[in-house]
Amino acid sequence: MEKHAAWRDFYHGLQAVDNGYHMKKIEAIIQPHKLAEVKEALIGIGVEGMTISEVRGHGRQKGHTEMYRGAEYTVDLLPKVKIEMFVADSRAEQIVEVLSAAARSGKIGDGKIFVSSVEVAVRIRNGDRGENAL
């Protein structure tokens, strides 16, 4: 009982800090050559910030083989781009739709989108919390 109560207090404390706002993290792994199109589409609907990283990986498609000077080699970890965005709950659905439409070519290797809940956001410059920090 004691333990649970302590946890609940802590959790409520955080919610109190965030004034009850709810946020989502949208993670999208896409083909590198689709990045420009996706970025344009997102800015078009008013997305203000995103973080991009170059990553390597594979899903079901498992890579392919190439020849170099007559010897075979396998490219199994393919270059991809990962986009991370933190947005208000209300915007998440629209963003996911626009993003997946822009990144889609219909071929294997187009990538995936993951959405998860975010509890705390802090702006380092001035200590803003919650949606104000986005």
Binding site for other proteins (CB under 8 A): 66-73
Which lies closer to other proteins via its Cβ, residue 2 or residue 72?
72
Between residues 68 and 107, which has the closer beta carbon with respect to other proteins? 68
Q: How far is the CB of 50 from other proteins (least distance, A)?
A: 22
C-alpha distances in angstroms, 133 versus 21, 111, 121, 128?
A: 11, 29, 6, 5
CB of 30 to other proteins, least distance (A): 24
Provide the CB-side half-sphere exposure for 125 (13 A, CA).
3
Count other C-beta atoms under 10 Å from residue 100's C-beta.
Answer: 16
**How many other CB atoms are there within 10 angstroms of residue 39's CB atom?**
17
Q: Which is nearer to other proteins, 46 or 68 (CB)?
A: 68
Q: How far is the CB of 65 from other proteins (least distance, A)?
A: 10
